[in-house]
Amino acid sequence: MPLTFTVTKESKKTRARLGRIETVHGVIETPVFMPVGTQATVKTMTPHELEDLGAEIILSNTYHLYLRPGSDVVAEAGGLHQFMNWKRPILTDSGGFQVFSLGPLRTISEEGVKFRSHLDGSKHFISPEKSMEIQMDLGADIVMAFDECAPYPADRDYVQKSKDLTTRWAKRCQQAHKREDQSLFGIVQGGMFKDLRRESALELIDLDFPGYGIGGLSVGEPKEIMYEVLEDLIPIMPTNKPRYLMGVGSPDCLVEGVLRGVDMFDCVWPTRLARHGMVITSKGNLTIRNLPFARDFTPIEEGCTCYTCQNFTRGYIRHLLKANEVLGIRLTTIHNIAFLMRLMGDIREAIASETLAEFSQDFLARFGGEK
Amino acid sequence: MPLTFTVTKESKKTRARLGRIETVHGVIETPVFMPVGTQATVKTMTPHELEDLGAEIILSNTYHLYLRPGSDVVAEAGGLHQFMNWKRPILTDSGGFQVFSLGPLRTISEEGVKFRSHLDGSKHFISPEKSMEIQMDLGADIVMAFDECAPYPADRDYVQKSKDLTTRWAKRCQQAHKREDQSLFGIVQGGMFKDLRRESALELIDLDFPGYGIGGLSVGEPKEIMYEVLEDLIPIMPTNKPRYLMGVGSPDCLVEGVLRGVDMFDCVWPTRLARHGMVITSKGNLTIRNLPFARDFTPIEEGCTCYTCQNFTRGYIRHLLKANEVLGIRLTTIHNIAFLMRLMGDIREAIASETLAEFSQDFLARFGGEK
């Protein structure tokens, strides 16, 4: 059974909506933020800690798992859910974005992408068909079409060709994908060119995917440009399919994305930030690693109910981070994920009670106000 | 209130005994293994995970905490228990062993030890009085006298002088130590010279400490020599005081130590081993990081009830370790600590049921049999 998606409420004042994605591994309430478990682990966390924080779905990376431990190993373990002991839904990306990020280590052709492993320099080739094969081995609930993600900035000609290739690859992915317990999402590309974005969307809608990723945003462009692209694009996207803004996860972008009709997000940002000694608070991000926190024996954020804030102080966490102790980045990661899970819960409540506009205004004013 | 120690059972066939140490932060059943939390954290673990594994006391290092975050910071946080949110008993070492391990970075005099920080090269001086001051700031339940730990091998003349100095320093520690909620243990030195060990013990017994560390063993000598020293030394030590064999923690040494009358142990070995991708099993240690485990989807040890073995496979853990994922060393650490906690529990049960000799023989045969 592939996924079913139900919009349970549409906001009257904004494009936001509440939804429910049902998969064989459980239900996801949208709008949702998906923590990223690149190498079959959300860095520093156990799957049970993620469950306790309310994560309903996580993302894992095809490129990384293909190289290590190998998708055959994961398949032999019984698939990714069993391999990592995560019982809830998983989404895998297509490997496209990671492969394109390799820069000089890769060459693109109509057929696919040749590249060298960032681990050992070994040669590999991923095509749309190969990406589907790997993702079928991994066994996630939602899999993504193999796309080309144009860089920013890029000229119109490049972006046009890249978008066209992405559409042709999307068709090949659809033909190659066979697992009935997985749902394959297409990915809208087209860079910052609104007309190309619309073309891309219409071409993919023709293929009738059960959900659509929006790729190639948050790749270096000003946030305002991303918001404008979303405002232009989302109104032509189907209302009965999930819309997934890929690689976006800072609190302000989550709020702005939901206001514009996005249902799903993922980003390494909150967990990466945590490993760099930074924590998210409702008043902005704090570099808790810094000296002023050495003798601060209050929690990261007063009133936060996460394990970290209920049990440890800024001073202790700062000490752990300075001393390169693993517990330090465990505690900041827990807090950052907890923050985003709570934010998404608050957003869903605000949509339900038709107070999202006020909530957003208030949240963005506080979050941006003090850094 | 300092600690009280009660021997609840003496083994008839061996020197082993069961005991109970009561402190203001709770009760410790002996023989006990103390996990080491060098920098106010048992590496990779939360205090709650340690509690769940049954750790009744942990050790933390004076030298490290003095340098970072500074014992004044810990004192300002309300002491080490509060700083790290560990509610059960803590033992701090004196800093002696770490300072002497600095080698060319330190010089010893009657007064104390001048040294340079391994972190930033800054100059410091620790005397017996200073060690007491720092340990009173840290606020552990059990604190250790500042001793000189002779290296191995060392000639008799050096060891004799070092032992004499340790006795004089023990007196100064006793005079300088003022906190009534802490218990100060003396440390028996004397290298591998049995007569010097006995002299050291008798001199310290004269000072009537509430417990005695046995330092300067497991410093490179063959295990048989350590066992011989213990066999000669322990019979002259008071029966009504805890005996703490410092820095010893491999499973075979724990069993052999208990058989010879040791009540307390600590060692970084099980946690350090875990971080190097090795796990302890009843059949010996496994380097789970190695290739043969890549497609092994069984637990580290069948029948082990620890979180790691109940939830994850060797193949997954091997993947995490190869990919340098923090969860890998978290899972191996949990298993290794769980193994030692269970071993100590089994040892205590075997003493209670007068089956320690058989238990030990069986355990040592299996543990040493297959590596």
Q: What is the pLDDT of residue A2?
A: 87
The CA distance from B1 to the nearest CA of chain A, in Å, is: 27
User: Catalytic residue at B52?
Assistant: no
Measured CA angle at B226 (ends B221, B227), to 5 deg: 145
In terms of CA atoms, which chain A residue is nearest residue B291? A69
Instruction: List pLDDT tens digits, range B183-202.
Output: 999 999 999 999 999 999 99
* Rounded Cα gap, residues B172 and B169, in angstroms: 5
Q: Which of B228, B193, B189, B232 has the alpha carbon at shortest distance from B212?
A: B189
Burial class (CB in 10 A: 0-12, 13-18, 19+), B6: exposed
Length of chain B: 371
Contact A44 B76 (CB under 8 A): no
The residue from A52, A93, A195, A346 that is catalytic is A93
Q: How many helices and strands in chain B, by DSSP H and E?
A: 15, 16
Task: Kindly determine whether residue A41 and residue B327, on different chains, have CB atoms separated by under 8 Å.
Answer: yes
Residues contacting residue A354 through CB under 8 Å, at least 6 positions apart: A11, A12, A13
**Quick check: A254 and A343 in contact, CB under 8 A?**
yes
CA distance A254 to A228: 15
Counted across chains A and B, CB pairs separated by less than 8 A come out at 108
Q: Which of A137, A141, A147, A266 is catalytic?
A: A266
Mean pLDDT, rounded, for A54-83: 98
Q: What is the pLDDT of residues B234-250, one digit of tens each?
A: 999 999 999 999 999 99
Share of chain A above pLDDT 70, in %: 99
Partnered with residue B32 across adjacent β-strands are B264
- pLDDT, position A103: 85
Mean pLDDT value across residues A29-35: 98
Chain B CB within 8 Å of residue A101 CB: no
| Chain B positions in Cβ-Cβ contact with residue A325 (cut-off 8 Å) | 39, 41, 43
* B216: Cβ contacts below 8 Å, ≥ 6 apart: B149, B150, B152, B189, B190, B191
Q: Which residues of A touch B39 (CB under 8 A)?
A: 319-320, 323, 325
Whether the CB of B345 is below 8 Å from some CB of chain A: the reply is no
Res B371: pLDDT? 39
pLDDT at A101 (0 to 100): 87
Q: What pLDDT sits at residue B103?
A: 84
Q: Which of A47, A68, A325 sits opposite B322 (nearest CB)?
A: A68
For residue B120, is pLDDT > 60? yes
Q: Which residue of A has its CA nearest to B309?
A: A85
- Contacts of residue A40 in chain B, CB cutoff 8 Å? 316, 319-320
| Residue A52 annotated among the catalytic residues of the structure | no
Band (pLDDT 50/70/90 cuts) for residue A40 is very high
Backbone angles phi, psi at A114, to 5 degrees: -90, 140
Distance from CA of A318 to the nearest CA of B (A): 9
Alpha carbon dihedral A48, A53, A57, A58, in 10-degree steps, equals -70
Q: Is A14 left (phi over 0), alpha (psi -120 to 50) or beta?
A: beta
Q: How far out from the chain centre does Cα B176 lie?
A: 24
Cβ pair B297:A323 closer than 8 A? no
Query: Do the chains contact at A77 and B312, CB–CB below 8 Å?
Result: no
d(CA B171, CA B169): 5
The reply to whether B46 touches chain A by the CB within 8 Å rule is yes
- Rounded distance, CA B330 to CA B131, Å? 32
- Whether A370 has a pLDDT exceeding 60, the answer reads no
Q: What is the pLDDT of residues A156-180, one digit of tens each?
A: 999 999 999 999 999 999 999 999 9
Distance to chain B for A315, nearest Cα, Å = 8
Kind and range of the H or E run holding B340: helix B326-352
Look at residue B370 in the predicted model and tell me its pLDDT. 39
Interface of A with B in 68-97 (CB under 8 A): 68-69, 73, 76-78, 83-85
| A48:B311 CB<8 A | yes
Q: What are phi and psi of A189, to 5 degrees?
A: -120, -165
Nearest to A77 among B77, B311, B315 (CB): B315
What's the rounded Cα separation, in Å, for the pair A179 and A137?
10
Residues 271-310 of A with CB under 8 A from B: 294-295, 297, 307
Where does the pLDDT of residue A102 fall: very low under 50, low under 70, confident under 90, or very high at 90 and above? confident
Contact state of A40 with B319 under an 8 Å Cβ cutoff: yes
Catalytic residue among B72, B266, B346, B362: B266
Distance from CA of A96 to the nearest CA of B (A): 21
ipTM over 0.90: yes
* Closest CA in chain B for residue A69: B319
Q: How far apart are CA A336 and CA A317, in angstroms?
A: 13
- Cβ neighbours of A342 (radius 10 Å): 16
